[in-house]
Amino acid sequence: RRSLGLLFLLAATGCALLVPFNDLIGRAPVLASLASWPLRTFIHTVLLFVPPAIVLGAITPLIAKIALQSGAPAGRAVGGVFACGVAGSIAGTFATGHIFVFYFPVTVIVVTAAGVMAGLGILALLAARGEAPAAAHSLPVVFDREIEATSADERRRWWTAITTVFISNAAFMLLEMAAARVLGREFGASIYTWTTVIGVVLAGITLGNYLGGRLADRSAGRGVIAAAFLGASVTALMGPAIARWMSGMLQDVELFYSLAWPVQITLFMTVAFFWPNLVIGTISPLVVKRTLDAGAAEGRTVGAIYAWGAVGSIFGTFAAGYVLIGWMGSLPLIAATALLLALTALAWAPKGYAAGIWSGVCVLVLLSAWLPIDAAQGIGRALGFRSEVDPARIFETESNYSYIAIRTLDDDPDQREMVLDKLTHSQVDLNDLTDLKYEYEWIYDGVVNKRVPAGVPLHAMIIGGGGFAYPNYLERTRPGSYIEASEIDPQVTETAFAYFGLPRDTAIQIYNQDARNRIADIIRKMDAGAPPDFVPFDFIFGDSINDYSVPQHLTTVEFARQIHRLLADDGVYLLNMIDMFDSGGFLSAVCHTNAQVFPHVYVFNTGRPPDVRDTFVVVSAKQPLDLHDLAPRIREHYPFAGNLIDPAAIDALIQRHGGILLTDRYTPVENLLKPVARTRGRDPGEARLARAERLAIDGDIPEAIAACREALEIRPLWPEALRLLGRLLAAESDLEGALTALRRAAELSPEPADIEYDIADTLLDAGRAEEAAAVLDGIITRFPDHADALQRRAVLAMAAQDYAGAVVLLQRATTANPKAATAFYNLGLAEAARKDLPAAIAAWEAALGLVPDYADCLHNLALAYTATRDFDAAWTAVAQLQELGEAPDPALLQTLQQQSGRQQ
Of 9-18, 254-263, 628-637, the least confident: 254-263
Of 243-257, 596-610, 785-799, 832-846, the least confident: 243-257
Residue 579: pLDDT over 50: yes
Do β-strands 459-463 and 423-429 pair in parallel, antiparallel, or remain unpaired? Answer: unpaired
DSSP character for 583? Answer: T
Confidence category of residue 683, pLDDT binned at 50, 70, 90: low
Q: Which positions ≥6 away from 606 have C-beta within 8 Å?
A: 439, 440, 443, 614, 615, 616, 640, 641, 642, 750
CB 579 within 8 A of CB 614: yes
Segment 133-153, tens digit of pLDDT: 555 444 344 444 444 444 677
CA 581 to CA 642: how far, in whole Å? 13
CA 394 to CA 291: how far, in whole Å? 53
Average pLDDT in the 527-537 region?
Answer: 90
Picking from 8, 356, 332, the residue whose alpha carbon sits closest to that of residue 174 is 332
CA dist 507 → 430, 478, 494, 594, 903 (Å): 19, 12, 15, 31, 60
CA 712 to CA 727: how far, in whole Å? 15
Determine the 3-state secondary structure of 247 from DSSP: helix
Verify cis geometry, omega within 30 degrees of 0, for the bond prior to 285.
no
Average pLDDT in the 429-449 region?
Answer: 94
Segment 445-461, tens digit of pLDDT: 999 999 999 999 999 99
Q: For position 864, what pLDDT does the model report?
A: 92
Number of Cβ atoms within 10 Å of the Cβ of 716 = 13
Segment 216-245, tens digit of pLDDT: 888 888 999 999 999 999 999 999 989 888
CB 276 within 8 A of CB 342: no
Q: Which helix (H) or strand (E) holds 541?
A: strand 537-542
Segment 735-757, tens digit of pLDDT: 999 999 999 999 888 778 889 99
Q: Which helix (H) or strand (E) holds 662?
A: none
Q: For position 134, what pLDDT does the model report?
A: 55
Residue 703: pLDDT over 70: yes
CB 645 within 8 A of CB 591: no
CA 193 to CA 96: how far, in whole Å? 14
Residue 132: pLDDT over 80: no
Picking from 780, 767, 766, 711, the residue whose alpha carbon sits closest to that of residue 738 is 766
CA 450 to CA 644: how far, in whole Å? 14
Segment 353-387, tens digit of pLDDT: 899 999 999 999 999 998 888 888 888 888 889 88
Do β-strands 537-542 and 393-398 pair in parallel, antiparallel, or remain unpaired? Answer: unpaired
CA 619 to CA 376: how far, in whole Å? 51
Q: How high is the mean pLDDT of the chain?
A: 88
Residue 771: pLDDT over 80: yes
Q: Between 657 and 388, where is the model more confident?
A: 657
Determine the 3-state secondary structure of 391 from DSSP: coil
CA 649 to CA 178: how far, in whole Å? 44
CB 334 within 8 A of CB 178: yes
Average pLDDT in the 857-862 region?
Answer: 91
Q: For position 689, what pLDDT does the model report?
A: 83
Q: Which positions ≥6 away from 27 have C-beta within 8 Å?
A: none
DSSP, residue by residue, 286-323: HHHHHHHHTT--HHHHHHHHHHHHHHHHHHHHHIIIII
Segment 276-332, tens digit of pLDDT: 999 999 999 999 888 888 877 777 788 888 889 889 998 999 899 888 988 888 999
Q: For position 626, what pLDDT does the model report?
A: 94
Phi, psi (rounded to 5 degrees) for 242: -65, -40
CA 894 to CA 904: how far, in whole Å? 10
Rounded to two decimals, the pTM is: 0.77
CA 852 to CA 759: how far, in whole Å? 32
Average pLDDT in the 437-442 region?
Answer: 94
| CA pseudo-torsion sign 734, 735, 740, 741 | positive
Average pLDDT in the 794-807 region?
Answer: 94
Average pLDDT in the 779-798 region?
Answer: 91
Segment 588-628, tens digit of pLDDT: 999 999 999 999 999 999 988 787 788 999 999 999 999 99
Per-residue b/e over 534-547, b at no fewer than 16 CB within 10 Å? bbebbbbbbbbbbb
Q: For position 679, what pLDDT does the model report?
A: 64
Q: For position 678, what pLDDT does the model report?
A: 64
Which class for 464: exposed (0-12), middle (13-18), buried (19 or more C-beta within 10 A)? buried
Determine the 3-state secondary structure of 570 from DSSP: strand
Picking from 341, 361, 326, the residue whose alpha carbon sits closest to that of residue 172 is 341
Segment 462-521, tens digit of pLDDT: 999 999 999 999 999 999 999 999 999 999 999 999 999 999 999 999 999 999 999 999
Q: Report long-range pairs for 474-477 (Cβ below 8 Å, ≥24 apart).
A: 475/506, 475/507, 475/508, 476/433, 476/434, 477/434
Q: Which helix (H) or strand (E) holds 621?
A: strand 614-621
CA 339 to CA 516: how far, in whole Å? 40
Q: For position 27, what pLDDT does the model report?
A: 84
CA 11 to CA 821: how far, in whole Å? 72
Compute the half-sphere exposure of residue 859: CA atoms within 13 Å on the CB side of its CA. Answer: 13
Average pLDDT in the 255-270 region?
Answer: 75
CA 127 to CA 141: how far, in whole Å? 29
CA dist 591 → 249, 460, 850 (Å): 41, 22, 50
CA 875 to CA 900: how far, in whole Å? 9
**Strands, E, within 373-489: which ranges?**
393-398, 403-409, 412-420, 423-429, 459-463, 482-486
Of 281-295, 339-353, 435-449, the least confident: 281-295
